[in-house]
Amino acid sequence: MKEIFLCKYGEIVLKGANQSYFESTLVKELKFRLRFFGRFTISHAQSTIYIEPLENPNGENDIEGAFSMLTRVFGIVAIERAACAEKNMEDISRVVREYIPQFLEGKKTFKVESKRADKRFPLKSPEISAQVGGLVLSLCHSVKVDVHNPDVTVKVEVREKYAYVSAGTVKGAGGLPISTNGNGLLLLSGGIDSPVAGYMMAKRGVKIQSLHFESFPYTSERAKQKVMELASLVSRYSGNMKVHVVSLTHIQEELVKNCDEEYFTLLLRRFMMTIAQRVAEKFDCLALITGESLGQVASQTIQAINVTNAAVTLPVFRPCIGMDKEEIVQIARKIETFETSIQPYEDCCTVFTPKHPRTKPVLEKVIEQEKKVDFDALVEEALTTLTTEYVQADF
């Protein structure tokens, strides 16, 4: 029996004259990812992408792996595994008999939903549902019809080429296809918040690159490896990722020697943002992305955010800004970054942390502190430590 994937669009259908651009970008991304799972053909019509396995001379296609991967592709809101039937009730009934009972084992209730996209089909949708429902009841004696809250929804879609029979829809990742909203640079620490921020902006169609700040020898090589693991986990959604690394060691040492302790974190954040903007410009990123949540720590008050914003001209996206920690943790668990994030390896922001940081800083006073060091020279020196690694997504 021929089985295919039906992937349903979300926001793409609202794009009007630009819909074809979003469709073609999504199809291109799917073609790239599916090649890791075998041979498939892709077509699209009526707000649905059809993915059909082909004969593979190199071995069997990884159907389960491909299906799992599809749940992490932005731009798709729902995925169904469906069996193909010819567009007549005789063949549709045959496929229902052979394909559907496996999905009803151990279930108590079901309903049938039909969609007649091809209006040339002689039966209307309610008539298709009635016939298929009667057939299912004759095949599976332990189930009953429940049109309001069924355990399983059997679907029959009569479309242009085939009729498709399925039982169960899996929720997709939603959002917009990767790269349809340009490139963004994520400031990726080893914590819980920044991987979530990267995931959320990738969901809005941003192609993510990452920037990690290290402070060797105050931070370890294992801390850097932890960040690379986080980048790899996020890339399962966002696609292959460049990870840039810059050393802040000398900057932090200079701040400790020359500046008042209560300003360390704010000054460091301004250095980080300035360096991030330079890296973003070098690698064609149009915005910076951080995992900040308003009021979560001293450097994330409104006043502190204003001080760090003043260091850059690029827009700074903060998708976690209105979320509490539990909401962020829920997403981290969903994208499987949480367990890696809580590994006890320090990051640069935990080095030389002041006992009593400023929570309501005034920009002019921060700039006075900043003048105690050679800001521009330290930025240029830090940029000489820039290295870039390429993380290939493990879809």
Residues of the chain with pLDDT under 50: none
* Architecture, CATH, for domain 183-391: 3-Layer(aba) Sandwich (3.40)
Whether residue 92 contacts residue 156, with contact meaning beta carbons closer than 8 Å, is answered with yes
- pLDDT score at 220: 80
Q: What share of the chain is helix, strand, coil (3-state, %, to 5)?
A: 40, 20, 35
What pLDDT, on a 0 to 100 scale, did the predictor assign at position 38? 95
Please name the fold of domain 3-171: VC0802-like (3.30.2130)
Global pTM value? 0.91
CB 114 within 8 A of CB 153: no
Query: What is the distance between the alpha carbons of residues 362 and 359, in angstroms, rounded to a whole number?
Result: 10
pLDDT digits (tens, 9 = 90+) for 297-355: 878 899 999 999 999 999 999 999 999 999 999 999 999 999 999 988 766 666 667 77
The pair phi, psi for residue 193, each rounded to 5°, is -75, -45
Amino acid at 22: F
Start and end residues for every CATH 3.30.2130.30 domain found in the chain: 3-171
**pLDDT for residue 352:** 66
Position 350 scores a pLDDT of 62
CB 80 within 8 A of CB 5: yes
Q: Where in the chain is the domain with CATH 3.40.50.620?
A: 183-391
Residue 349: predicted pLDDT: 62
Among the listed residues 76, 63, 84, the one whose alpha carbon sits nearest the alpha carbon of residue 11: 76
pLDDT for position 348: 60
